Structure 1
Amino acid sequence: MSGHGHSHGGGCGGNHDCDEHLTEDQLAAAYSLYTKINMEAVQCLNTDSPAKCVFKPWDQRLDREKYVESDADPELLFKIPFTGCVKLKGIIVIGGGGESHPNKMRLFKNAPEMTFDDVGRKADQEFELTPDSEGNVQYGVIAARFNSVDTLTIHFPSSFGGDNTKIYYIGLKGDFHEAPRQEVVIATYEARPMPDDHDTKSDFENFHHPIS
Protein backbone atom coordinates (compact mmCIF):
# COMPACT_ATOMS: atom_id res chain seq x y z
CA MET A 1 0.00 0.00 0.00
CA SER A 2 2.94 2.35 -0.26
CA GLY A 3 2.33 5.67 -1.91
CA HIS A 4 -0.93 6.71 -0.22
CA GLY A 5 -1.51 8.83 2.85
CA HIS A 6 1.16 8.24 5.43
CA SER A 7 2.29 4.77 4.40
CA HIS A 8 5.20 5.33 2.13
CA GLY A 9 7.92 2.64 1.96
CA GLY A 10 11.41 3.55 0.94
CA GLY A 11 14.51 3.78 3.05
CA CYS A 12 13.20 6.45 5.39
CA GLY A 13 11.25 4.33 7.84
CA GLY A 14 8.21 6.46 7.18
CA ASN A 15 7.33 9.69 5.53
CA HIS A 16 9.94 12.26 6.44
CA ASP A 17 12.69 13.56 8.73
CA CYS A 18 15.38 11.40 7.10
CA ASP A 19 17.87 14.22 6.88
CA GLU A 20 17.84 15.65 10.37
CA HIS A 21 21.34 14.27 11.08
CA LEU A 22 22.89 16.08 8.10
CA THR A 23 24.87 19.31 8.43
CA GLU A 24 23.81 22.50 6.62
CA ASP A 25 26.53 21.94 4.01
CA GLN A 26 25.39 18.37 3.39
CA LEU A 27 21.78 19.48 3.07
CA ALA A 28 22.79 22.23 0.65
CA ALA A 29 24.60 19.65 -1.48
CA ALA A 30 21.74 17.14 -1.23
CA TYR A 31 19.14 19.69 -2.30
CA SER A 32 21.09 21.08 -5.27
CA LEU A 33 18.93 19.41 -7.92
CA TYR A 34 17.42 22.84 -8.70
CA THR A 35 20.60 23.52 -10.70
CA LYS A 36 19.51 20.78 -13.14
CA ILE A 37 16.07 22.29 -13.81
CA ASN A 38 15.41 23.95 -17.16
CA MET A 39 14.29 27.12 -15.36
CA GLU A 40 13.00 28.97 -18.42
CA ALA A 41 10.58 26.12 -19.12
CA VAL A 42 9.18 25.71 -15.59
CA GLN A 43 5.44 26.28 -15.48
CA CYS A 44 2.83 26.57 -12.76
CA LEU A 45 -0.88 26.66 -13.52
CA ASN A 46 -3.34 28.87 -11.58
CA THR A 47 -0.84 31.57 -10.59
CA ASP A 48 0.55 34.82 -11.91
CA SER A 49 3.75 34.32 -9.91
CA PRO A 50 6.97 33.27 -11.71
CA ALA A 51 7.00 29.53 -11.04
CA LYS A 52 10.79 29.19 -11.06
CA CYS A 53 11.25 31.48 -8.02
CA VAL A 54 10.57 28.64 -5.54
CA PHE A 55 13.50 26.57 -6.88
CA LYS A 56 16.56 28.08 -5.24
CA PRO A 57 19.64 27.24 -3.15
CA TRP A 58 19.17 25.65 0.26
CA ASP A 59 20.52 28.71 2.07
CA GLN A 60 17.82 30.86 0.44
CA ARG A 61 14.94 28.58 1.41
CA LEU A 62 13.75 30.94 4.16
CA ASP A 63 13.72 33.97 1.86
CA ARG A 64 10.10 35.21 1.87
CA GLU A 65 10.53 37.86 -0.80
CA LYS A 66 9.44 35.71 -3.76
CA TYR A 67 6.79 33.02 -3.69
CA VAL A 68 4.12 31.33 -5.76
CA GLU A 69 0.54 32.01 -4.73
CA SER A 70 -2.48 30.35 -6.27
CA ASP A 71 -4.99 32.53 -8.05
CA ALA A 72 -8.63 31.48 -8.31
CA ASP A 73 -8.57 28.69 -5.71
CA PRO A 74 -5.97 26.75 -3.66
CA GLU A 75 -4.92 24.40 -6.51
CA LEU A 76 -1.44 24.61 -8.05
CA LEU A 77 0.19 22.45 -10.74
CA PHE A 78 3.96 22.73 -11.22
CA LYS A 79 5.63 21.28 -14.32
CA ILE A 80 9.38 20.96 -13.79
CA PRO A 81 11.52 19.88 -16.77
CA PHE A 82 15.09 18.81 -16.06
CA THR A 83 18.10 19.24 -18.34
CA GLY A 84 18.80 15.50 -18.16
CA CYS A 85 17.60 12.39 -16.37
CA VAL A 86 16.89 12.48 -12.65
CA LYS A 87 16.53 9.80 -10.01
CA LEU A 88 14.36 11.61 -7.48
CA LYS A 89 14.81 10.76 -3.80
CA GLY A 90 13.26 13.47 -1.68
CA ILE A 91 11.21 16.67 -1.63
CA ILE A 92 10.90 19.53 0.85
CA VAL A 93 8.04 22.04 0.63
CA ILE A 94 7.97 25.33 2.54
CA GLY A 95 4.51 26.84 2.34
CA GLY A 96 2.75 29.89 3.67
CA GLY A 97 1.89 30.24 7.31
CA GLY A 98 -1.48 29.23 8.68
CA GLU A 99 -4.12 28.03 6.25
CA SER A 100 -2.26 28.92 3.04
CA HIS A 101 0.22 26.02 3.37
CA PRO A 102 -0.58 23.14 0.98
CA ASN A 103 -1.92 20.07 2.78
CA LYS A 104 -1.41 17.48 0.02
CA MET A 105 1.15 16.83 -2.70
CA ARG A 106 0.72 14.52 -5.69
CA LEU A 107 3.66 13.57 -7.93
CA PHE A 108 3.53 12.59 -11.61
CA LYS A 109 6.60 11.68 -13.61
CA ASN A 110 7.17 12.44 -17.30
CA ALA A 111 3.78 14.10 -17.92
CA PRO A 112 4.88 17.43 -19.45
CA GLU A 113 1.54 18.16 -21.14
CA MET A 114 -0.52 17.70 -17.99
CA THR A 115 -3.25 20.22 -17.10
CA PHE A 116 -5.92 20.41 -14.40
CA ASP A 117 -8.09 18.26 -16.69
CA ASP A 118 -5.66 15.37 -16.07
CA VAL A 119 -5.28 15.53 -12.29
CA GLY A 120 -8.03 12.96 -11.73
CA ARG A 121 -5.66 10.20 -12.81
CA LYS A 122 -3.74 8.15 -10.27
CA ALA A 123 -0.59 9.89 -9.09
CA ASP A 124 2.75 8.07 -9.03
CA GLN A 125 2.93 8.99 -5.35
CA GLU A 126 0.88 11.10 -2.92
CA PHE A 127 1.70 12.72 0.40
CA GLU A 128 -0.21 14.32 3.23
CA LEU A 129 1.83 17.42 4.05
CA THR A 130 2.83 18.80 7.43
CA PRO A 131 2.95 22.60 7.83
CA ASP A 132 6.63 23.44 7.40
CA SER A 133 7.94 27.00 7.54
CA GLU A 134 11.66 26.19 7.74
CA GLY A 135 12.30 23.17 5.52
CA ASN A 136 12.52 20.64 8.35
CA VAL A 137 10.32 17.96 6.76
CA GLN A 138 11.57 15.77 3.94
CA TYR A 139 9.18 13.56 1.97
CA GLY A 140 11.00 10.49 0.71
CA VAL A 141 9.78 9.32 -2.67
CA ILE A 142 9.66 5.70 -3.80
CA ALA A 143 12.95 5.69 -5.69
CA ALA A 144 12.00 2.81 -8.00
CA ARG A 145 9.08 4.86 -9.34
CA PHE A 146 11.15 7.99 -9.95
CA ASN A 147 14.42 6.58 -11.26
CA SER A 148 14.17 8.03 -14.78
CA VAL A 149 12.49 11.42 -14.59
CA ASP A 150 12.88 14.10 -17.24
CA THR A 151 9.78 16.09 -16.17
CA LEU A 152 8.33 16.16 -12.67
CA THR A 153 4.77 17.42 -12.27
CA ILE A 154 3.66 18.34 -8.74
CA HIS A 155 -0.04 18.84 -8.01
CA PHE A 156 -1.02 20.68 -4.84
CA PRO A 157 -4.80 20.14 -4.78
CA SER A 158 -5.65 22.00 -1.60
CA SER A 159 -4.43 23.98 1.40
CA PHE A 160 -5.13 23.81 5.12
CA GLY A 161 -8.41 25.68 4.58
CA GLY A 162 -7.19 28.90 2.97
CA ASP A 163 -8.65 30.39 -0.21
CA ASN A 164 -5.17 30.38 -1.71
CA THR A 165 -2.05 28.25 -1.48
CA LYS A 166 1.31 29.92 -0.99
CA ILE A 167 4.68 28.21 -1.58
CA TYR A 168 8.09 29.73 -0.85
CA TYR A 169 10.41 26.84 -1.56
CA ILE A 170 10.42 23.42 -3.21
CA GLY A 171 13.62 21.46 -2.59
CA LEU A 172 14.43 18.45 -4.73
CA LYS A 173 16.99 15.79 -3.82
CA GLY A 174 18.28 13.08 -6.15
CA ASP A 175 20.86 11.94 -8.67
CA PHE A 176 21.33 13.58 -12.05
CA HIS A 177 22.61 12.16 -15.34
CA GLU A 178 23.23 14.17 -18.48
CA ALA A 179 20.90 13.25 -21.32
CA PRO A 180 23.10 11.29 -23.78
CA ARG A 181 20.41 10.62 -26.37
CA GLN A 182 21.26 13.32 -28.90
CA GLU A 183 24.96 12.48 -29.11
CA VAL A 184 24.18 8.78 -29.49
CA VAL A 185 21.97 9.45 -32.51
CA ILE A 186 24.59 11.63 -34.18
CA ALA A 187 27.35 9.07 -33.53
CA THR A 188 25.20 6.32 -35.05
CA TYR A 189 24.76 8.25 -38.30
CA GLU A 190 28.43 9.17 -38.54
CA ALA A 191 29.54 5.59 -37.95
CA ARG A 192 27.34 4.19 -40.71
CA PRO A 193 29.39 3.41 -43.85
CA MET A 194 28.43 5.70 -46.72
CA PRO A 195 27.25 3.72 -49.77
CA ASP A 196 28.23 4.75 -53.28
CA ASP A 197 26.41 8.00 -54.09
CA HIS A 198 25.31 6.75 -57.52
CA ASP A 199 23.64 3.64 -56.16
CA THR A 200 21.94 5.55 -53.39
CA LYS A 201 20.57 8.10 -55.83
CA SER A 202 19.22 5.61 -58.38
CA ASP A 203 17.66 3.45 -55.64
CA PHE A 204 16.06 6.52 -54.20
CA GLU A 205 14.71 7.65 -57.56
CA ASN A 206 13.37 4.21 -58.45
CA PHE A 207 11.71 3.88 -55.11
CA HIS A 208 9.95 7.24 -55.36
CA HIS A 209 9.42 7.18 -59.14
CA PRO A 210 5.64 7.59 -59.58
CA ILE A 211 5.32 11.15 -58.25
CA SER A 212 4.35 13.38 -61.21
Structure 2
Amino acid sequence: MGLVKARAAGNGAAFDAAPEDAPRLDHPDAVQRRRAVQALAGDADCVDKLVTLLRVEKESLVRQAAFLLLASLNSREAARGVSVLLSDADAALRNGALETLAAMPDHAGPLLASLGQDEDADVRIFAVLLAAELQDPAAADWLVALAAHETDANVCSNLAEALGGTGRIEAAAALTAIGTRFAGDPFLGFAVETALQRLREA
Protein backbone atom coordinates (compact mmCIF):
# COMPACT_ATOMS: atom_id res chain seq x y z
CA MET A 1 0.00 0.00 0.00
CA GLY A 2 1.40 3.41 -0.97
CA LEU A 3 2.26 6.16 1.43
CA VAL A 4 -0.52 8.51 2.36
CA LYS A 5 0.10 12.10 1.33
CA ALA A 6 -1.29 14.82 3.55
CA ARG A 7 -0.98 18.55 3.82
CA ALA A 8 0.57 20.01 6.94
CA ALA A 9 -1.75 22.60 8.46
CA GLY A 10 -0.78 26.23 8.01
CA ASN A 11 2.05 25.99 5.43
CA GLY A 12 0.67 23.63 2.79
CA ALA A 13 3.75 21.36 2.93
CA ALA A 14 3.25 17.68 2.19
CA PHE A 15 4.36 14.93 4.52
CA ASP A 16 4.41 11.13 4.31
CA ALA A 17 2.53 9.12 6.89
CA ALA A 18 3.08 5.42 7.31
CA PRO A 19 -0.40 3.87 7.16
CA GLU A 20 -1.62 1.73 9.99
CA ASP A 21 -2.43 -0.92 7.37
CA ALA A 22 1.23 -1.39 6.38
CA PRO A 23 2.18 -5.09 6.31
CA ARG A 24 3.89 -6.25 9.48
CA LEU A 25 4.39 -9.60 11.18
CA ASP A 26 2.09 -8.70 14.08
CA HIS A 27 -0.69 -7.20 11.95
CA PRO A 28 -4.19 -8.38 12.97
CA ASP A 29 -4.97 -9.16 9.31
CA ALA A 30 -3.51 -12.49 8.13
CA VAL A 31 -3.16 -11.21 4.56
CA GLN A 32 -0.98 -8.36 5.78
CA ARG A 33 1.10 -10.74 7.89
CA ARG A 34 1.67 -12.91 4.83
CA ARG A 35 2.78 -9.85 2.87
CA ALA A 36 5.14 -8.94 5.69
CA VAL A 37 6.63 -12.43 5.50
CA GLN A 38 7.05 -12.19 1.74
CA ALA A 39 8.74 -8.81 2.16
CA LEU A 40 11.52 -10.57 4.09
CA ALA A 41 12.64 -12.44 0.96
CA GLY A 42 16.33 -11.83 0.41
CA ASP A 43 16.96 -11.08 4.08
CA ALA A 44 19.43 -13.74 5.24
CA ASP A 45 18.89 -12.66 8.85
CA CYS A 46 15.15 -13.30 8.89
CA VAL A 47 15.29 -16.86 10.31
CA ASP A 48 14.71 -15.87 13.94
CA LYS A 49 11.84 -13.57 12.96
CA LEU A 50 10.12 -16.31 10.97
CA VAL A 51 10.59 -19.01 13.61
CA THR A 52 9.25 -16.67 16.30
CA LEU A 53 6.26 -15.92 14.09
CA LEU A 54 5.59 -19.60 13.40
CA ARG A 55 5.46 -20.38 17.12
CA VAL A 56 2.38 -18.17 17.52
CA GLU A 57 0.87 -18.01 14.02
CA LYS A 58 -2.37 -19.97 13.53
CA GLU A 59 -3.33 -19.01 9.97
CA SER A 60 -2.20 -21.62 7.47
CA LEU A 61 -1.61 -19.11 4.66
CA VAL A 62 0.86 -17.19 6.81
CA ARG A 63 2.56 -20.37 8.01
CA GLN A 64 2.90 -21.60 4.45
CA ALA A 65 4.54 -18.35 3.36
CA ALA A 66 6.97 -18.50 6.27
CA PHE A 67 7.91 -22.12 5.64
CA LEU A 68 8.35 -21.49 1.91
CA LEU A 69 10.66 -18.57 2.61
CA LEU A 70 12.70 -20.61 5.11
CA ALA A 71 13.02 -23.44 2.59
CA SER A 72 14.13 -21.00 -0.09
CA LEU A 73 16.97 -19.82 2.18
CA ASN A 74 18.33 -23.38 2.07
CA SER A 75 20.91 -22.66 4.75
CA ARG A 76 22.27 -24.28 7.89
CA GLU A 77 20.76 -21.48 9.97
CA ALA A 78 17.32 -21.99 8.41
CA ALA A 79 17.44 -25.75 8.97
CA ARG A 80 18.46 -25.33 12.60
CA GLY A 81 15.75 -22.74 13.17
CA VAL A 82 13.07 -24.96 11.65
CA SER A 83 14.26 -28.03 13.57
CA VAL A 84 13.32 -26.50 16.92
CA LEU A 85 9.69 -26.52 15.78
CA LEU A 86 9.69 -30.32 15.76
CA SER A 87 9.13 -30.21 19.52
CA ASP A 88 6.11 -27.90 19.31
CA ALA A 89 2.79 -29.15 20.67
CA ASP A 90 1.02 -28.21 17.43
CA ALA A 91 1.06 -31.26 15.12
CA ALA A 92 0.41 -29.15 12.02
CA LEU A 93 3.40 -26.98 12.84
CA ARG A 94 5.60 -30.05 13.32
CA ASN A 95 4.46 -31.43 9.98
CA GLY A 96 5.24 -28.12 8.30
CA ALA A 97 8.69 -28.13 9.86
CA LEU A 98 9.29 -31.69 8.64
CA GLU A 99 8.32 -30.82 5.06
CA THR A 100 10.51 -27.73 5.13
CA LEU A 101 13.53 -29.64 6.42
CA ALA A 102 13.04 -32.30 3.76
CA ALA A 103 13.22 -29.54 1.15
CA MET A 104 16.79 -28.67 2.20
CA PRO A 105 18.44 -32.10 2.60
CA ASP A 106 22.03 -30.87 2.55
CA HIS A 107 21.44 -28.92 5.74
CA ALA A 108 18.81 -31.14 7.36
CA GLY A 109 20.83 -34.36 7.18
CA PRO A 110 23.57 -33.20 9.57
CA LEU A 111 20.89 -32.46 12.20
CA LEU A 112 19.76 -36.09 12.47
CA ALA A 113 22.44 -37.00 15.03
CA SER A 114 21.30 -34.37 17.52
CA LEU A 115 17.59 -34.90 16.84
CA GLY A 116 18.02 -38.61 17.47
CA GLN A 117 19.35 -37.86 20.94
CA ASP A 118 16.47 -35.60 21.94
CA GLU A 119 14.74 -36.57 25.19
CA ASP A 120 11.35 -36.08 23.53
CA ALA A 121 10.33 -39.28 21.75
CA ASP A 122 8.12 -37.28 19.39
CA VAL A 123 11.17 -35.36 18.17
CA ARG A 124 12.99 -38.64 17.56
CA ILE A 125 9.98 -39.88 15.60
CA PHE A 126 10.09 -36.83 13.39
CA ALA A 127 13.83 -37.33 12.96
CA VAL A 128 13.10 -40.86 11.70
CA LEU A 129 10.44 -39.54 9.34
CA LEU A 130 12.89 -36.91 8.10
CA ALA A 131 15.59 -39.51 7.47
CA ALA A 132 13.11 -41.57 5.46
CA GLU A 133 12.19 -38.51 3.39
CA LEU A 134 15.83 -37.70 2.64
CA GLN A 135 16.44 -41.10 0.99
CA ASP A 136 20.17 -40.59 1.42
CA PRO A 137 22.83 -43.26 2.19
CA ALA A 138 24.00 -41.29 5.22
CA ALA A 139 20.42 -41.03 6.50
CA ALA A 140 20.00 -44.80 6.05
CA ASP A 141 23.20 -45.38 8.06
CA TRP A 142 21.77 -43.16 10.79
CA LEU A 143 18.52 -45.12 10.88
CA VAL A 144 20.43 -48.39 11.33
CA ALA A 145 22.55 -46.87 14.10
CA LEU A 146 19.50 -45.49 15.92
CA ALA A 147 17.77 -48.87 15.78
CA ALA A 148 20.65 -50.38 17.76
CA HIS A 149 19.77 -48.47 20.94
CA GLU A 150 16.29 -46.90 20.64
CA THR A 151 14.07 -48.03 23.51
CA ASP A 152 10.77 -46.25 22.79
CA ALA A 153 8.22 -48.53 21.09
CA ASN A 154 6.59 -45.73 19.10
CA VAL A 155 9.94 -44.55 17.76
CA CYS A 156 10.84 -48.13 16.88
CA SER A 157 7.61 -48.71 14.98
CA ASN A 158 8.46 -45.71 12.81
CA LEU A 159 12.03 -46.97 12.57
CA ALA A 160 10.79 -50.32 11.30
CA GLU A 161 8.83 -48.70 8.49
CA ALA A 162 11.73 -46.42 7.56
CA LEU A 163 14.26 -49.26 7.61
CA GLY A 164 12.04 -51.36 5.39
CA GLY A 165 12.31 -48.70 2.72
CA THR A 166 16.10 -48.41 2.73
CA GLY A 167 16.84 -51.57 0.74
CA ARG A 168 19.94 -52.03 2.89
CA ILE A 169 21.10 -55.52 3.85
CA GLU A 170 22.23 -54.37 7.28
CA ALA A 171 18.74 -53.04 7.94
CA ALA A 172 17.52 -56.62 8.35
CA ALA A 173 19.76 -57.15 11.38
CA ALA A 174 18.61 -53.85 12.87
CA LEU A 175 14.98 -54.86 12.38
CA THR A 176 15.55 -58.26 13.95
CA ALA A 177 17.14 -56.56 16.94
CA ILE A 178 14.06 -54.36 17.35
CA GLY A 179 11.82 -57.41 17.19
CA THR A 180 13.86 -59.13 19.89
CA ARG A 181 13.85 -56.04 22.08
CA PHE A 182 10.05 -55.81 21.93
CA ALA A 183 9.24 -59.49 21.71
CA GLY A 184 6.03 -59.03 23.71
CA ASP A 185 4.62 -56.29 21.47
CA PRO A 186 2.49 -57.85 18.70
CA PHE A 187 2.00 -54.56 16.83
CA LEU A 188 5.72 -53.89 16.70
CA GLY A 189 6.36 -57.49 15.77
CA PHE A 190 4.02 -57.07 12.80
CA ALA A 191 5.76 -53.82 11.80
CA VAL A 192 9.14 -55.55 11.90
CA GLU A 193 7.95 -58.51 9.83
CA THR A 194 6.35 -56.20 7.28
CA ALA A 195 9.60 -54.23 6.97
CA LEU A 196 11.65 -57.43 6.60
CA GLN A 197 9.32 -58.56 3.84
CA ARG A 198 9.86 -55.25 2.03
CA LEU A 199 13.59 -55.75 2.24
CA ARG A 200 13.33 -59.27 0.85
CA GLU A 201 11.28 -57.99 -2.09
CA ALA A 202 13.57 -55.01 -2.81
**Please, what TM-score do these two structures have when normalized by structure 2?**
0.22
Pick the structure with greater CA Rg: 2
More helix by share: 2
State the structure with bigger RCO (CA 8 A, min sep 6), 1 or 2.
1
**Would you tell me which structure has more strand in proportion to its own residues?**
1
